[in-house]
Each structure stands twice: as structure tokens, then as C-alpha cells.
Amino acid sequence: MTALPWQDGVYAALKKAGVRQVGYVPDAGHSRLIEQAHADPEVTAVVLTTEEEGIAMAAGCHLGGSRAVLLMQSSGVGNCINMLSLPIHCRMPLLTLVTMRGEWGEFNPWQVPMGSATGPVLSAAGVHIRRAERADEVVDMVAASAQLAFDSAIPVAVLLSQRMIGAKVWVK
Amino acid sequence: MSNIPNLLPTNSLLDRRQVVATLLRDTAETPGGELLVVTGLGSTTYDAGAAGDRPLNFYLWGAMGGALMIGLGLAIARPERRVLVITGDGEMLMGMGALATVAAARRPNLSIAVLDNGQFGETGHQSSHTSLGADLAAMARACGWAQGEIVTDMPGVEALRLRLRNEVLFATVRISPDEVPRFLPPRDGANLTTRFRAALGVPPS
């Protein structure tokens, strides 16, 4: 998959913020970050079976004095809700980058319910939300969100809009 | 519910408090320094507290299914230290995907002991899947763990104590379903986090 111009900037921002663990459930919109994490000897990339594993992994990472990011798609947010009580109650940082589905040129109607609920559900669970609509704002937004999460020990989700990522092409 | 067959071996009379006290004896006797311990929601948290509260015990009072993955994040962050996760069959069953995730991550410094009484003891002793045919140690092996074992006697538990600190091992310990006196370790998560990091020497943020 061809890298979008902002993706390398996002990886650099994560590295600069001290992120050394990357947990992910694959998504096409994160594929460049996943490749970079696996290729980086300073970073440990962990493929998860389900997104809430990444919430718990980030908690363990914090206990050990390091920093993690969780990469997932909006459909995975619903899997995380109870596990979010871990960083919230324990006053731990959480940084997650969420690629949005079901909102811009979506072909698959099954993505729409969770895509529509992603923001409200995260807010209800106590997660701070930032939303990147344009490629020229996403790198700064990730950097600022990482700072907010790690320096204030709070959970922060950056939603990457489907318009910015590009809707999945089903019929080529 | 009494017509549901209980497939657990009937020779499992191990006392859970004695098992955990054995596993956590002399935690300084660990390669790389004091053993780092994560316990799962429910009875294993009480067992570890009863064995002697220590700042390097991270007790889960919620986040069911997360114990093993917390152990993984910790093991990656502190490769020079040993991490031991102690949890119950119900907690492990809820986070079973972590068996595959942790096996795939291939960390040399993480082991887990699952205390298996075949029941959801906290909620009224309903039979869990491990008394209805599921074998967690076999699942661990099938997920790629090099060692997935079942221990049914105290000499085996005694041997586990140092093996869990020196090898990469998934161990199911069959325990008696008998209830033991309640012991409640600290439960404020922010405090547990702060004291754990301080004991590890992580600078305060």
C-alpha cells in the first residue's frame, strides 16, 4: 500500500514522544505505521487478537516506565470499553489512534453502527477525543495528543477521519 | 445446574492460599531482581495479598481478562526483569486471545500460573469452561507456548516456584474449589500504579 504523506510524520511524532510499544489490530489505514514499527529496533510491535488486549498492554508498559500506542479501527473501539476502566481508574496514560470507518464513502453498511458510535462511546467511557479531518493537521494533533496522554496520565484517542485516509476501494 | 458434569480431576485438593504463598516465597530469589507480579480480578488478587502485600504486586480489581496482557506490556518494558502473572480460570478464559498474542510476542521473561478451580468462585460457584471440557494448558500449547503444563500436587507447585521465574511457562494449577477466608489487599488503582513504578525506580512524572 502506498504511504500517505502524513503517515511518516505520525510515526516520527510517536517516536519523539517516547513511544516504544505499538499494539495493533491491523487496519489498512495503519499499515504504514505497522510496517515502520516492525522495522524499528527501538520499538516492539505486537499484533493483538482483539483491541482490549492493547489497553491492558499499554497499562503494563506504563507500570514498567515505558510508553505505548494502540492502533485500531473504529470497529475495535466497542471491544475496549470495560478495559478502559484500567487506565482511567489507575490514572495511567493511554494513546490510541483510531482509523474511522462507516462515515465517508463507506461501502460496507456493517461498519456504520460502530463508526457512528465511536466518538460518543469513547466520551462516555472517559476518553479524551481529538479528530483529524485534514492531512495537514494530523501530525501536530498526534504529537499534542501524545503529550497530553503521557504528561497528564489520561486516555486520549485521535480519530483519523475516513475522508482523510481514503475510503476502502471495493471494486477495482 | 447440578446436572452439568464436572470433568475436573477429583484429586485436586490444593489449597489456593498455600499454592500462591509457595509461588511468591522469596521473591528476591529471581534473576534480574525482585519478581514483578500481576494478579487477576478475583481470588488470585486476594491470594497474593494474603501471601504478603508488596509494592511490586499489581492487583487487578477489575479489567477482567487483562492480566496476561498487562504482564506482556510490563515484560517488554522491563526485559531485564522477570514477570509472573497469577490469575484464575475465569479471568484467563475472558482474555484467551492473549494466549496467542503472548506466544507470538515471544518474550523470554514472562510466565503465568492459572489457578483452576473449574468455577466462577466470586459469583456463586457456577461451573466454568475448564470443568466443562476446556483445557487451558493445551490451549496455550496450541497457541504456540513451548510449555503448557498442569500441576496437581504441592511438590509440583514447589518446583513451579523457580521454574516460573526462569523459564517461559504456562502452568495450570488445579486447586480445591473450597472457599478460603477473605483477604482484601489495597484496591486504589492510582496508588497501586504509583507505588509499583516507584518500587521499580521509574521517575515520577
pLDDT band at A172 (very low <50, low <70, confident <90, very high): low
Q: Provide, rounded to the nearest whole percent, the portion of chain B with pLDDT above 90.
A: 89
Q: Which CATH class is domain A5-163?
A: alpha beta
**Alpha-carbon distance A43 to A90, whole Å?**
25
Q: Which amino acid, one-letter code, is at A5?
A: P
Q: What ipTM describes this predicted complex? A: 0.96
> Do the chains contact at A57 and B77, CB–CB below 8 Å?
no
Q: Smallest Cβ distance to A46: which of B63, B66, B101? A: B101
- pLDDT of A2 reads 60
**Alpha-carbon distance A166 to B3, whole Å?**
55
- pLDDT of A4 reads 75
Q: Which chain B residue shows the shortest CA-CA distance from A89?
A: B189
Q: How far is A64 from chain B (nearest CA, A)?
A: 5
Average pLDDT over chain B reads: 94
Residue in the structure block whose three cell numbers are 494533533: A141
Flag whether residue B199 sits within 8 Å of chain A, measured between CB atoms. Answer: no
Q: Is a pLDDT exceeding 60 seen at residue A1?
A: no
- pLDDT of B62 reads 97
Q: How far is A2 from chain B (nearest CA, A)?
A: 27
- pLDDT of B126 reads 92
> Do the chains contact at A66 and B76, CB–CB below 8 Å?
yes
- pLDDT of A122 reads 98
- pLDDT of A168 reads 66
Q: Is a pLDDT exceeding 50 seen at residue B2?
A: no
> Do the chains contact at A83 and B65, CB–CB below 8 Å?
yes
Q: Which chain B residue shows the shortest CA-CA distance from A59?
A: B70
Q: Smallest Cβ distance to B70: which of A48, A60, A66? A: A60
For residue B84, how far is the Cα from the chain centroid? 7
CA distances (Å), B2 to each of B12, B18, B99, in order? 19, 29, 31
- pLDDT of B7 reads 52
> Do the chains contact at B58 and A63, CB–CB below 8 Å?
yes
> Model confidence over A9-38: pLDDT tens digits?
999 999 999 999 999 999 989 999 999 999
Q: Smallest Cβ distance to A61: which of B58, B73, B95? A: B73
Average pLDDT over chain A reads: 94
Grid cell, residue A45, equals 510491535
> Do the chains contact at B74 and A63, CB–CB below 8 Å?
yes
Q: Smallest Cβ distance to A46: which of B105, B189, B200? A: B105
Region B122-135 average pLDDT: 92
**Alpha-carbon distance A111 to A99, whole Å?**
12
Region B50-68 average pLDDT: 98
**Alpha-carbon distance B5 to B99, whole Å?**
26
- pLDDT of B11 reads 55
Q: With CA atoms as reference, report the closest residue to B14 among B84, B113, B116, B111.
A: B116
- pLDDT of B38 reads 98
Which residues of A are less than 8 Å from B85 in CB distance? none
Q: Is a pLDDT exceeding 60 seen at residue B10?
A: no
Q: Is a pLDDT exceeding 60 seen at residue B9?
A: no
Q: What are phi and psi of A24, to 5 degrees?
A: -150, 145
Q: Domains (ranges, CATH) in chain B?
A: 16-200 (3.40.50.970)
For residue A39, how far is the Cα from the chain centroid? 19
End-to-end CA distance of chain B: 51
Grid cell, residue A165, equals 485516509
> Do the chains contact at B189 and A90, CB–CB below 8 Å?
yes
Flag whether residue A27 sits within 8 Å of chain B, measured between CB atoms. Answer: no
Interface mutation vs chain B, best among A38, A90, A152, most B CBs within 10 Å: A90
Region A98-122 average pLDDT: 94
> Model confidence over B154-188: pLDDT tens digits?
999 999 999 999 999 999 999 999 989 999 999 99
